[in-house]
Structure formats: C-alpha cells, structure tokens
Amino acid sequence: MERSRIAVAGASGLIGSALVRSLTADGHEVVRLVRRAPGGPGEVRWDPQRQQVDAAGLAGCTAVVNLAGAGIGDHRWTDAYKRTIRDSRVLGTAALAEAVAALEEPPRVFVNGSAIGYYGDTGDRAVDEAAPPGDGFLPSLCVEWEEATAPAQEAGIRTVYGRTGLVVARRGGAFGRLFPLFRAGLGGRLGDGRQYWSFIALHDVVAALRHLVDTEELSGPVNLTAPEPVTNREITAALGRVLHRPTLFAVPEPVLRTALGELAGDVLGSQRVVPKRLLESGFTFAFPGAEDAVRAA
C-alpha cells in the first residue's frame, strides 16, 4: 500500500485502534472521526446519531474505513439498547456514505463494518458470502447496516463490507472476557460446546481490512474469519492448553439465558462461516488455527 490519507471511524475501538496503530506505523496519514471538538488536524468531527459529518475534513482521503458501533455484548438487549446498537451502525454508516458520495474527489474505497451475525444460526453447515441472511435481530441489523452504504455505491465508490467473526484479543470483545476467567481456572464450555465459533486473530483482522483497502477487485461482502471454524468445546480446550489451566467448568444453557437474556441465543448459536472471497483474493492468515490465535493474543 502506497502512503495514503485514510479516515477511520471507530478508531478507539478494539479493531479500530489496532488498525490505526498499523497504518500509522507504516507511515500513512490517519484521520480519526470523533464525536467531540477535534483536537488537531488528524481529527474530524461527526455525530452518527444526528447523521452529521464534517465532510470537508475527509477531502484528500483515498480510503474511508467505518468500524463504529455500540458494543453488542456490553448490555442486556432491552428494546432501548437494541435501538442503540442499530442506530449507532445504520445511521452512522448512512451519514458517512452520503458524505463521501458528495465529495468532489471521493475516496477510492469505502470499507464498512459488518458481522457474521448476518448469517444467523447455521448449525453444522458451512456458509460463505453467497449464503442468505438468517432470522432474528442480528441478521436484520446486518442487512440494514450493509444497505446503508448505498449512497457510496451509487456514487461509484468501491464499497466493501467486512463481515467480522469473533476477534481473539487479550482485551476487548468476547475473548477479552474469557481470558480472565480461564486464567483463574474458571473457564469451560458454554452450553453443550458443540456450537461453531468463527474466530479471527486481531492481527489477521487488521491485515484483512488493509487487504480490503488495497485489493481493487474486492467489493460487497467479505467474511473476515479464520479459514477453519472450530466448536466452542475446541476453543475451550485451546484456551486451557495455552494458559495451562483446567477447563472443568461448564456454563449450562439456562444459566446463560438468565444472565444474558436474548444475547444468549447468539452465544449458544452455531456459526460455521468460511472466508471464501478473502482466500480467493490471495490473503494469507498469520494465525489460521484456534490455538495459533489464542497464543498470539
């Protein structure tokens, strides 16, 4: 990737902050979208809820990467919080897509976040980007989220939505919650452990996002998951081996449903998602296996 000016929304999140570090280390100029008054030339003001963007600050950007959104697992899924989850993604995406479409010199590519929640519960069935959306809150959210990129696509901007799996990282996301439990010897499978978890190492998701920016032939949905999804039982075993801790405890399904409410359906659901388009485009994973990804974290 030649040195470029790249805008990143969601730059303070788990993936966004790692992406910004990677881009900056390679000499790229990164513009962060912030919800407060900008602290300098490297920041641009936006308000995703009100669908307002200081589009002038995006001038000269060759790429815009939108990873903004309220945390899926941060709160119980009340009706109010589900609206927060939806609005933070759909309204913010629409605002950015309209802003880049209106630029006199728009960016070459608009990379927008999405998630493998698009597919719903796939059981043991492996799915790639050609699969239809599933049923429920997360699939309908992902459909709206991706459709909100329409203004950028209609303006002729190459638009990619990265459907990201469970990111394996020491802090943040689902694994950020699991690591302390396993270190304390309290880790174990969730439910019966047979559900598939489509994971990806933090290093690989950052490399994949940069690959989406650079690879001209990629547009539309691209799954950002490791090539071999594994079951929750296998992830549990990998965590135990790497951290040298027993994995005797198991969290029964009724306890999860009591603790997590509607979110438990997604924790217990099975998603066997494969990154067909990413692999076909020549991307190479640094940490393709579950134990590789856990050791990297």
* Whether residue 258 has pLDDT greater than 70: no
Q: Radius of gyration over alpha carbons of the chain, in Å? A: 19
- pLDDT single digits (tens) 106-115: 999 999 999 9
Mean pLDDT, rounded, for 281-291: 97
- pLDDT single digits (tens) 142-180: 999 999 999 999 999 999 999 999 999 998 878 887 888
Task: Give the confidence band of 259 by pLDDT, cuts at 50, 70, 90.
Answer: low
- Max CA-CA distance within the chain? 60
- DSSP code at position 225: S
Task: Give the confidence band of 188 by pLDDT, cuts at 50, 70, 90.
Answer: confident
* Whether residue 260 has pLDDT greater than 60: no
User: CA-to-CA distance for 279 and 256, rounded, in angstroms?
Assistant: 35
Mean pLDDT, rounded, for 216-236: 96
pLDDT of residue 116: 95
Percent of the chain surpassing pLDDT 90: 76
pLDDT of residue 261: 63
- pLDDT single digits (tens) 4-55: 999 999 999 999 999 999 999 999 999 999 999 888 889 999 999 888 999 9
Q: Which of 61-65, 76-80, 121-125, 241-245 has the lowest mean pLDDT?
A: 76-80
Exposure on the CB side of residue 113, measured as CA atoms within 13 A: 28
Percent of the chain surpassing pLDDT 70: 94
pLDDT of residue 1: 60
* Whether residue 82 has pLDDT greater than 70: yes
Phi, psi of 30 (to 5 degrees): -105, 130
| 3-class secondary structure, 8 | strand
CA-nearest of 117, 126, 136, 135 to 221 is 117
User: CA-to-CA distance for 157 and 167, rounded, in angstroms?
Assistant: 28
User: CA-to-CA distance for 245 and 241, rounded, in angstroms?
Assistant: 7
Helices and strands: H and E segment counts in the chain: 11, 14
Q: In total, how many domains does the chain have? A: 1
* Whether residue 58 has pLDDT greater than 90: yes
User: CA-to-CA distance for 240 and 235, rounded, in angstroms?
Assistant: 9
Q: Give the DSSP H or E segment for 127.
A: strand 126-127
Task: Give the confidence band of 75 by pLDDT, cuts at 50, 70, 90.
Answer: confident
- pLDDT, averaged across the chain: 92
Please give, one letter per residue, the 3-state secondary structure of 23-87: HHHCCCEEEEEECCCCCCCCEEEEECCCCEECHHHHCCCCEEEECCCCCCCCCCCCHHHHHHHHH
Expressed as residue numbers, the domain containing 150 is 5-296
Q: What is the pTM of this model?
A: 0.94
pLDDT of residue 265: 63
Mean pLDDT, rounded, for 85-98: 95
| 3-class secondary structure, 220 | strand
Q: Which of 133-137, 209-213, 218-222 has the lowest mean pLDDT?
A: 133-137
- CATH number at 58 reads 3.40.50.720
Task: Give the confidence band of 77 by pLDDT, cuts at 50, 70, 90.
Answer: confident
